[in-house]
Each structure stands twice: as C-alpha cells, then as structure tokens.
Amino acid sequence: MSATQDGHALGAQAARLGTRSDRGAFGRLRGVLLVLFVYSIAGAVAVVASLALGRDPTSCDGWLGARGAAGLLLSLGLGVLLGAATILSTRALIQRFRWARALHLALRPAVHGAGDAGLWLVALASATGEELLFRGLLVPLAGVVTSSMVFGALHQVRGQARWGWMAWATVMGLLFGSVFAATGSLAGPLVAHAVINLHNLRFLRDNDPTPRRESLGGLLRRP
C-alpha cells in the first residue's frame, strides 16, 4: 500500500504496482504479475538461504517447546486471534486518532478502484514473501526485535504518515515474529498476515475517513 507516488520496499510498493485502477485492464494485470514475481523472488531467496544454512524457513525451535502438530495448531490459533484483533483495532484507531486517518489517506490512492481478485493476489503474495523473508529467514538469524526493526524500516511513505506507518509495521513485525518464535511454526503469522492484508486493503479501497463537506446550505455535498 502506498500513496500515489510512494510505497515501502515490498508490501506498499506491491499494492501500488498491482492494484492501481488507472492503468487499464492490461496494465493492472501486468502490475499484479510483477507483484507476484517480486514476492516469488523474495520468498525463493529466503527459502534458498534458509536451506543453505541448514534451516527450515517454516519452522524453528519455539520458546514454548511445542512440536509437530501441537506447534502448528498453536501457531494457527494465535494467528487467527492476532489477525482478528489487528483488523478490529485498525478500524478503531482510524476513528479515534488523527495519525491513523492520515496514514489511511496516504495509502488509499493505491487501491482506489482495485478489483477483489487483484487485492487477493497482492495480499497472499506479500504475506508469503514477507513472512518467509522477515520471519522464516531473519528471526532465527537476527532475532525478533532486529528483524522487526528491519521490517518496519522498509515500510516507507512520504509526508506526515511516514513515522506512523513505520511504527505500525514494526509493531506488527514484533507480533508476527513473536508468534513464530514462540510456537516454532510460521503457519500462524502467514495466515494472520494474509488476512490482515486482504481486509485492510479492502477497507482502504472502500472507506474514506474524510468527513463529508457541505456547501450551499447543505444542498450540495462533496465527498
């Protein structure tokens, strides 16, 4: 997600490339294919690097000591809770805080008029690529905090929303990384990330938090 001329290195830029409505059908398809290509490369690099280091990018030694199916189910359960809590908190923050509304407005042009199919592809591709890279590869190497700081630093938009976007991404990185490190399974963070991306991309597209302005005594309303 990004403003019209901005985007973070992976996910925001992906939405800008893949879901812009002013490109025409061919342009939007080409943008989505480019997004899929970029995230496929990111995911492939993470997998190859992890395997070269003798690690499975989808699992680690969890803090809680869960193994096998227990770790998988625990990860999925926490991921579902994290996804639901994040989606609900996003709506509440936008209603209550100016910085959240500013961030929403900065990111919204990227998905204005985008179709559901494009949003699904961007959400799934970005979640998979980012989780394999930032959690699957970097968490075992650098730890939850460092990997989350890198994740946050790569989320960039220009203007007043920049620091809010970076802070939000860093917090989400800490949450995704903590679920992975605690349970030993990447399944939960991956599901949570994909669900959050999809719902928030659709929310960006379908909701304008700017108050409606009235003119001529309320006879004319401007969005």
115-162 residue pLDDT tens: 888 889 889 999 999 999 999 999 999 999 999 999 999 887 776 777
Rg of the chain over all Cα atoms, to the nearest angstrom: 18
The verdict on residue 154 lying in a domain is yes
Give me the domain span that covers residue 183: 11-208
d(CA 125, CA 144): 22
Which one, of 38, 13, 208, 211, lies nearest residue 110 by Cα?
13
Instruction: Report the 3 state secondary structure along 61-73.
Output: CCCCCCCHHHHHH
In a domain? residue 219: no
C-alpha dihedral over 197, 150, 72, 66, to 10 degrees? -150
Confidence of residue 21 (pLDDT cuts 50, 70, 90): very low
Indicate the DSSP class of residue 201: H
Residue 213: its H or E element: strand 213-215
CA distance 205 to 115: 9
2 lies in some domain:
no
Helix (H) or strand (E) holding 41: helix 24-52
CB atoms within 10 A of CB 58: 18
Question: Does residue 86 lie in a domain region?
Answer: yes
Phi-psi region of 115 (alpha: psi -120 to 50; beta: other; left: phi over 0): beta
Give a yes or no: residue 220 inside a domain.
no
Dmax over CA atoms of the chain, in Å, equals 70
Residue 163 has pLDDT above 60, yes or no: yes
114 confidence band (pLDDT: 50, 70, 90): confident
Q: Decide if 26 is inside a domain.
A: yes
pLDDT of residue 17: 42
What pLDDT does 171 receive? 96
173-182 burial string, b = 16+ CB within 10 Å, else e? bbbbbbbbbb
Angle between helices 11-19 and 116-130 (to 10 degrees): 160
Q: pTM surpassing 0.75?
A: yes
DSSP secondary-structure letter at 184? S
Counted domains in the chain: 1
- Specify whether the CB–CB gap between 126 and 197 falls below 8 A: yes
User: Is the pLDDT confidence value at 96 over 90?
Assistant: no
Show contacts of 48-53: CB within 8 Å, 24+ apart.
49/137, 50/136, 50/137, 50/140, 53/141
Residue 218 lies in a domain: no
In a domain, 215, yes or no: no
